[in-house]
């Protein structure tokens, strides 16, 4: 099973982007998602953006991950 995390694009530099969620930032590759722009929500797997998603879906996914995290704490 693969797990992709929704993150928000903060900055783009050629084929790399700085993304963040919940105060954490990381640099990813955006080669597979042409047309991505600052402010987009992207699903990230293994350091690559794999899809641009709706902001509402991104938030729902983050909430589900938070519920899981809270349960295992």
User: Domains of the chain: which residue ranges?
Assistant: 5-72
Helix (H) or strand (E) holding 3: none
> Over 70: is that where the pLDDT of 58 sits?
yes
Work out the average pLDDT over 10-23: 96
Other Cβ atoms within 10 Å of 65 Cβ, number: 15
pTM for the predicted model, two decimal places: 0.88
Which fold, 5-72?
SH3 type barrels. (2.30.30)
Rg of the chain over all Cα atoms, to the nearest angstrom: 12
Token couple for 4? 């992709």
The pLDDT of residue 1 is: 63
């Amino acid at each position: 099973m693969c797990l992709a995390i929704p993150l928000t694009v903060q900055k783009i530099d050629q084929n790399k982007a700085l993304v963040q969620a919940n105060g954490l930032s990381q640099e990813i590759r955006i080669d597979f998602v042409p047309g991505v722009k600052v402010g987009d929500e992207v699903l990230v797997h293994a350091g690559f953006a794999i899809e641009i998603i709706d902001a509402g879906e991104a938030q729902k996914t983050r909430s589900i991950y938070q519920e899981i995290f809270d349960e295992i704490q």
